[in-house]
Amino acid sequence: MSPILGLILVAILVLLVIDSLNTREQATRLASQQCRQLGWQFLDGTAALSSMRLVWTEQRLVWRRRYSFDYVDEDIRRRRGIIIMLNGQLEHFILKQNSKTDAEPKTDAG
Protein backbone atom coordinates (compact mmCIF):
# COMPACT_ATOMS: atom_id res chain seq x y z
CA MET A 1 0.00 0.00 0.00
CA SER A 2 1.34 3.41 -0.91
CA PRO A 3 1.91 6.01 1.82
CA ILE A 4 -0.62 8.37 0.24
CA LEU A 5 -3.34 5.71 0.29
CA GLY A 6 -2.49 4.98 3.93
CA LEU A 7 -2.81 8.65 4.83
CA ILE A 8 -6.14 8.90 3.02
CA LEU A 9 -7.48 5.88 4.93
CA VAL A 10 -6.29 7.32 8.26
CA ALA A 11 -7.91 10.69 7.41
CA ILE A 12 -11.22 8.97 6.59
CA LEU A 13 -11.07 7.04 9.85
CA VAL A 14 -10.36 10.22 11.84
CA LEU A 15 -13.29 12.01 10.17
CA LEU A 16 -15.59 9.08 10.96
CA VAL A 17 -14.54 9.11 14.62
CA ILE A 18 -15.05 12.89 14.89
CA ASP A 19 -18.48 12.63 13.23
CA SER A 20 -19.46 9.77 15.57
CA LEU A 21 -18.39 11.72 18.65
CA ASN A 22 -20.31 14.81 17.52
CA THR A 23 -23.43 12.75 16.82
CA ARG A 24 -23.20 11.01 20.20
CA GLU A 25 -22.87 14.38 21.91
CA GLN A 26 -25.98 15.60 20.09
CA ALA A 27 -27.92 12.45 21.02
CA THR A 28 -26.89 12.86 24.66
CA ARG A 29 -28.03 16.50 24.62
CA LEU A 30 -31.41 15.54 23.09
CA ALA A 31 -31.97 12.78 25.66
CA SER A 32 -31.07 15.09 28.52
CA GLN A 33 -33.39 17.86 27.26
CA GLN A 34 -36.31 15.50 26.73
CA CYS A 35 -35.94 13.98 30.20
CA ARG A 36 -35.71 17.43 31.77
CA GLN A 37 -38.88 18.58 29.94
CA LEU A 38 -40.79 15.54 31.17
CA GLY A 39 -39.48 15.91 34.73
CA TRP A 40 -37.57 12.64 34.55
CA GLN A 41 -34.01 11.94 35.60
CA PHE A 42 -31.49 11.27 32.82
CA LEU A 43 -29.14 8.56 34.09
CA ASP A 44 -25.44 8.00 33.45
CA GLY A 45 -25.13 11.34 31.62
CA THR A 46 -24.62 9.84 28.19
CA ALA A 47 -26.26 8.05 25.27
CA ALA A 48 -24.44 4.89 24.22
CA LEU A 49 -24.06 3.81 20.60
CA SER A 50 -25.88 0.52 20.13
CA SER A 51 -25.71 0.18 16.33
CA MET A 52 -24.33 1.98 13.31
CA ARG A 53 -24.96 1.18 9.66
CA LEU A 54 -24.93 2.73 6.25
CA VAL A 55 -28.33 3.32 4.62
CA TRP A 56 -29.44 4.77 1.30
CA THR A 57 -31.60 7.89 1.36
CA GLU A 58 -33.15 9.55 -1.67
CA GLN A 59 -29.97 11.53 -2.21
CA ARG A 60 -27.01 9.50 -0.94
CA LEU A 61 -25.49 6.94 1.36
CA VAL A 62 -25.53 8.10 5.01
CA TRP A 63 -24.96 6.77 8.53
CA ARG A 64 -27.87 5.67 10.72
CA ARG A 65 -26.83 5.46 14.35
CA ARG A 66 -28.93 4.09 17.18
CA TYR A 67 -28.21 5.27 20.71
CA SER A 68 -29.70 4.02 23.95
CA PHE A 69 -29.92 5.79 27.27
CA ASP A 70 -31.46 5.19 30.67
CA TYR A 71 -33.81 7.39 32.63
CA VAL A 72 -36.01 7.25 35.71
CA ASP A 73 -39.67 8.10 35.13
CA GLU A 74 -42.32 9.42 37.51
CA ASP A 75 -42.85 5.90 38.89
CA ILE A 76 -39.18 5.82 39.96
CA ARG A 77 -38.48 2.98 37.55
CA ARG A 78 -35.40 2.70 35.43
CA ARG A 79 -36.36 2.80 31.75
CA ARG A 80 -34.55 2.62 28.44
CA GLY A 81 -34.86 5.28 25.75
CA ILE A 82 -33.69 5.10 22.15
CA ILE A 83 -32.55 7.83 19.80
CA ILE A 84 -32.04 7.13 16.11
CA MET A 85 -29.93 9.65 14.23
CA LEU A 86 -29.76 9.71 10.44
CA ASN A 87 -26.70 11.53 9.14
CA GLY A 88 -26.46 13.58 12.34
CA GLN A 89 -30.16 14.54 12.38
CA LEU A 90 -32.83 13.20 14.72
CA GLU A 91 -34.92 10.54 12.98
CA HIS A 92 -36.75 8.92 15.93
CA PHE A 93 -36.92 9.47 19.67
CA ILE A 94 -38.45 6.50 21.50
CA LEU A 95 -39.34 6.33 25.19
CA LYS A 96 -40.45 3.02 26.62
CA GLN A 97 -42.95 4.11 29.23
CA ASN A 98 -44.46 0.81 30.29
CA SER A 99 -42.48 -2.41 30.35
CA LYS A 100 -45.73 -4.47 30.16
CA THR A 101 -46.66 -3.05 26.76
CA ASP A 102 -44.72 -2.30 23.64
CA ALA A 103 -46.03 1.26 23.35
CA GLU A 104 -43.27 3.41 21.91
CA PRO A 105 -44.18 7.05 21.33
CA LYS A 106 -42.10 8.40 18.46
CA THR A 107 -41.12 11.97 17.80
CA ASP A 108 -40.00 12.67 14.25
CA ALA A 109 -37.93 15.72 13.46
CA GLY A 110 -37.79 16.76 9.82
CB-based burial of residue 75 (10 Å sphere; 0-12 exposed, 13-18 middle, 19+ buried)? exposed
Tens digits of residue pLDDT in 59-74: 899 999 999 999 998 8
Q: How far apart are the C-alpha atoms of 86 and 92, rounded to whole Å? A: 9
3-class DSSP state of 73? coil
pLDDT digits (tens, 9 = 90+) for 2-61: 889 999 999 999 999 999 999 999 999 999 999 999 888 999 888 999 999 999 988 899
**Number of Cβ atoms within 10 Å of the Cβ of 89:** 11
Task: For residues 72 and 80, give the distance between their C-alpha atoms in angstroms, rounded to a whole number.
Answer: 9
Strand partners, 85: 65, 90
Among 46, 53, 44, 41, CA closest to 21: 46
Of the pLDDT bands very low, low, confident and very high (cuts 50, 70, 90), residue 104 is very low
